[in-house]
């Protein structure tokens, strides 16, 4: 799904310089960084801090507040987010999650050894009337059961 | 043949795009010119994807559909026929105002601004008159009638811009002392 070129400080500086003068430019800059490198590496936080004239702690604070910014490493080729919120749990999301974990041999936040799948929890996709629901590479799927998820997730 | 099928997140999550593709294919096979409007959901999520097609006897609904249902729907043999969804008890007992057209129109189509056009034609006093009749209240929490708030706005705002659809805040003339 995401490209993940190795971190390049010149590319990062170029991105930051495009957004540094913009009010509220930190978030779009973070998005661009993640788009380019598949995640927001520590070195990028330093470049952001310098470019926006804020502390590195502040860039870390913003980036870590949003779960969709990946701070440690790029995601797998596909990202499967399973809804863990109440409405989905009430209609079997727990059993579905157990099935997916077993199938992919993953725990939350993990990526398969071949780099194909990353499994993440998500708290509400707004599909409470038709759970259990999931998002795969940005597309939503609902009313899922083991068979339906097996058809979507082929390891 | 006119038809409606939602394209909101819930309908998409339940496979509405695949149903639309199957319908298009099944219609082409039968030489039916399908005019499929992708709407918002009427909210009967347990029946999504919920298709509505126009027949000689009015609109007829089908759901929850999977792509394999397309042929039977067009041949009139589908066991998922629900009749006119607007007569469905869950929907019929509701009075929908803001969402009245949700389910019948494509919300992504550019708006016609017909209401704005009419407001410009009838002018500020007539607009205020209609707003008074509607009983519309502000959203600030105090429950002020929107019409009172409109009337309270300085007259020069209306005089200066007689075609204004909504009475807007008066723009003060630039003060010589303002920097």
Question: Averaged over A94-109, what is the pLDDT?
Answer: 97
In chain A, the residue whose alpha carbon lies closest to the alpha carbon of B47 is: A130
**Over the stretch B79-126, which tens digit does the pLDDT of each residue have?**
999 999 999 999 999 999 989 999 999 988 888 888 899 999 999 889
What is the ipTM, given to two decimal places?
A: 0.82
pLDDT, tens digit, 9 for 90 and up, residues A18-36: 999 999 999 999 999 999 9
CB contact under 8 A, A129 and B9: no
What integer pLDDT is reported at residue B109 of this predicted model?
86
Lookup: tokens for B109: 């189509």
pLDDT above 70 coverage of chain A, percent: 97
Confidence (pLDDT) at B157: 55
Q: Looking at the predicted structure, is the pLDDT value of residue A130 above 70?
A: yes
Cβ contacts of A141 on chain B, cutoff 8 Å: 13
B151 falls in which pLDDT band (50, 70, 90)? confident
Distance from CA of A69 to the nearest CA of B (A): 23
Chain A, nearest residue to B43 by Cα: A129
Residue B139 has pLDDT above 90, yes or no: no
> Which residue in A has a C-alpha nearest to residue B45's C-alpha?
A129
Minimal Cα–Cα distance from A128 to chain B, Å?
9
> If pLDDT is split at 50, 70 and 90, which confidence band does A152 have?
very high
In this prediction, residue B155 carries a pLDDT of 64
Mutate to test the interface with A, among B7, B10, B42, B63 (most CBs of A within 10 A): B10
Cβ neighbour number for residue A1 with a 10 Å cutoff: 14
Whole-number Å distance between alpha carbons of B106 and B111: 10
- Retrieve residue A62's tokens: 């913003």
Q: What is the pLDDT of residue B146?
A: 84
CA-based R_g, chain B, Å: 23
List pLDDT tens digits, range A47-66: 999 999 999 999 999 999 99
Question: At A141, is the secondary structure helix, strand, or coil?
Answer: strand
**pTM of the predicted model as reported, rounded to 2 decimal places:** 0.76
Of residues A149 and B158, which shows the higher confidence score?
Answer: A149
Bigger pLDDT: A99 vs B178: A99
Q: What is the DSSP letter of B68?
A: G
Token code pair at residue A152: 């979507």
Residue B3 clears pLDDT 90, i.e. is over it? yes
């Amino acid at each position: 799904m995401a490209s993940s070129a190795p971190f390049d400080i010149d590319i990062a500086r170029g991105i930051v310089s495009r957004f540094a003068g913009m009010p509220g430019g930190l978030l779009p800059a973070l998005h661009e960084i993640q788009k380019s490198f598949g995640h927001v590496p520590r070195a990028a936080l330093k470049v952001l801090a310098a470019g926006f004239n804020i502390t590195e702690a502040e860039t870390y604070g913003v980036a870590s507040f949003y779960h969709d910014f990946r701070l440690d490493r790029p995601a797998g080729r596909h990202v499967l987010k399973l809804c863990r919120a109440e409405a989905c749990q009430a209609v079997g999301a727990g059993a579905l999650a157990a099935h997916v974990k077993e199938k992919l041999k993953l725990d939350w936040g993990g990526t398969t050894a071949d780099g194909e799948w990353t499994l993440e929890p998500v708290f509400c996709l707004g599909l409470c009337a038709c759970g259990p629901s999931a998002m795969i590479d940005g597309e939503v799927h609902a009313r899922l059961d083991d068979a339906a998820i097996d058809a979507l997730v082929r390891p | 043949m006119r038809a409606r099928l939602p394209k909101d997140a819930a309908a998409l999550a339940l496979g509405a795009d695949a149903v639309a593709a199957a319908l298009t294919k099944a219609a082409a096979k039968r030489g039916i010119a399908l005019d499929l409007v992708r709407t918002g959901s009427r909210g009967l999520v347990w029946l999504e994807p919920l298709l509505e097609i126009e027949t000689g006897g009015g609109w007829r609904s089908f759901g929850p559909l999977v792509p394999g249902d397309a042929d039977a729907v067009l041949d009139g043999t589908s066991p998922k026929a629900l009749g006119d969804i607007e007569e469905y008890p869950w929907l019929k007992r509701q009075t929908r105002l803001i969402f009245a057209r949700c389910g019948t129109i494509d919300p992504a189509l550019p708006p016609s601004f017909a209401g704005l056009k009419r407001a410009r034609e009838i002018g500020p006093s007539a607009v205020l008159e209609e707003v008074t009749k509607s009983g519309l209240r502000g959203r600030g929490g105090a429950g002020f009638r929107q019409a009172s708030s409109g009337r309270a706005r300085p007259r020069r705002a209306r005089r200066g811009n007689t075609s204004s659809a909504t009475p807007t805040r008066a723009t003060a003339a630039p003060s010589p002392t303002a920097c």
